[in-house]
Amino acid sequence: MYLDFEDEKILAGEKGETRQRMMELLVALGKVFGAERLVPIRSAQVSGASYKTIGEYGLSWLSTLDAKAVVPAVLNPIGMPRRRWQEMGIDTDFARNQEAVVAAYERLGVLLECTCTPYYLRETSYGDHLAWSESSAVSYANSVIGARTNREGGPGALAAALIGKTPCYGLHLPENRVPQVVIEVKTKEEEWSIATFGALGYHVGKLVGNRIPFFTGICPDHDQLKALGAAMAATGAVALYHVEGITPEARKHRFSEVVLESIPVEAQEIAGIFREIPVEAVALGCPHCSPEELSILAQLLSGKQVTKPLYVFASQGVIDANRSVVASIEKSGARVYADTCMVVSPVMEQYSAIMVNSGKALAYVPDMCGALARIGTTEQCVSVATE
Ligand code: F3S
């Protein structure tokens, strides 16, 4: 793999041991995946931030590093809201360990915005090269924005943040971004909600695995695209998808003229995913809520009181920029938490069944929280939480 003069100096250890180790990691990754060079990145998003997932081993590894990020880098959601962990019922020992993880990342110059929706906080543009690691963020960046990132592991994203570059292979190269299978959705899309697109993604992820799907027959908005991509990344390994006439690369290229395998998806296949089971709590914001999602929730909860715990997750930046909307949601007794989510917080493990409006959460809650998961529309979730 070609390295420039500066890269070679880093690899030789002239810029410190941590940078040398990080460059070794990037070079090793590049060799495995056949990269010819490194590419400068605009930002990084680093997973492996919840103590629930990285544990003591991950914390000790972080503590051995000593360098600063050279591009803007944020964290994935952690196991608790940093400002309100006691209110959420987080155990003191867990909080202490989680704070140690956060402090380790802060020492490395990673910004303490812990979110899977970094694109709401920091401008990310078409064609930008990134090193992001949370799968829904990767999917959104590639598909909805038209930026370029592979689905990095936590250490790979951190190495890229500390070096400012990532190996140029996979989805960084235009020839690897073309569709590989057509998903022909046969339904009346005006009836579709965020949850329906989540359920579609839940279903299609299983069908396509790691291929790049090209959707026809749907007309999702940005929040619906976010839900679709997040779910496909959870049940499959989809890091990029296109939607005819909607996503930027599908608008730019004539993908519909390429002859590919076509898989029809009927409305009843999606409807079958919506099963009614009793739940003990409701959790929204997977991926973290947009300002629009918070506004809709505030309207739906207006004048109501929750009778079951209703958790809402969003980034601190989005919460801070929408204080009155958040206050109006919390008037109902619901809680809007930053930094964490229903999958990476240990608090959700106390429930035996959780209702969500997300295909990704539907896929992950059973294994990560040990709870049954039910998907419903945002309206249905509010109705169940306030019934
Ligand atoms: Fe984000 Fe957690 Fe869902 S990281 S995509 S809210 S599982």
pLDDT in tens for each of the 387 residues of the chain?
Answer: 999 999 999 999 999 999 999 999 999 999 999 999 999 999 999 998 889 889 999 999 999 999 999 999 999 999 999 999 999 999 999 999 999 999 999 999 999 999 999 999 999 999 999 999 999 999 999 999 999 999 999 999 999 999 999 999 999 999 999 999 999 999 876 678 999 999 999 999 999 999 999 999 999 999 999 999 999 999 999 999 999 999 999 999 888 777 789 999 998 999 999 999 999 999 999 999 999 999 999 999 999 999 999 999 999 999 999 999 999 999 999 999 999 999 989 899 999 999 999 999 999 999 999 999 999 999 999 999 999
| Buried-exposed string 246-282: b where 16+ CB fall within 10 A, e elsewhere | bbebbeeeebeeeebeeeebebebbeebeeeeebebb
User: What separation in angstroms does the CA of 379 have from each of 297, 298, 369?
Assistant: 8, 11, 24
Q: Are 62 and 155 in contact (CB under 8 A)?
A: no
106: CA distance to ligand 1 center in Å? 21
239: CA distance to ligand 1 center in Å? 15
Listed as own residue / partner, the contacts of 177-180 with beta carbons closer than 8 Å and 24 or more positions apart are 177/142, 177/148, 177/212, 177/240, 177/249, 178/212, 178/253, 178/255, 178/258, 179/212, 179/213, 179/214, 179/242, 179/255, 179/258, 179/260, 180/208, 180/211, 180/212, 180/213, 180/260
Q: Are 75 and 46 in contact (CB under 8 A)?
A: yes
- The strand ranges marked E within 4-145 are 38-40, 43-46, 73-75, 111-114, 130-132
Closest C-alpha to ligand 1, atom 7: 343
Q: Is the CB of 273 under 6 A from ligand 1?
A: no
Query: Apex CA 202: angle with CA 198 and CA 206, to 5°?
Result: 160
**3-class DSSP assignment, residue 123:** coil
Q: Are 316 and 74 in contact (CB under 8 A)?
A: no
Closest C-alpha to ligand 1, atom 3: 286
343: CA distance to ligand 1 center in Å? 7
322: CA distance to ligand 1 center in Å? 20
Q: Are 341 and 116 in contact (CB under 8 A)?
A: yes
pTM: 0.96
Q: Is the CB of 42 under 6 A from ligand 1?
A: no
Q: Are 335 and 310 in contact (CB under 8 A)?
A: yes
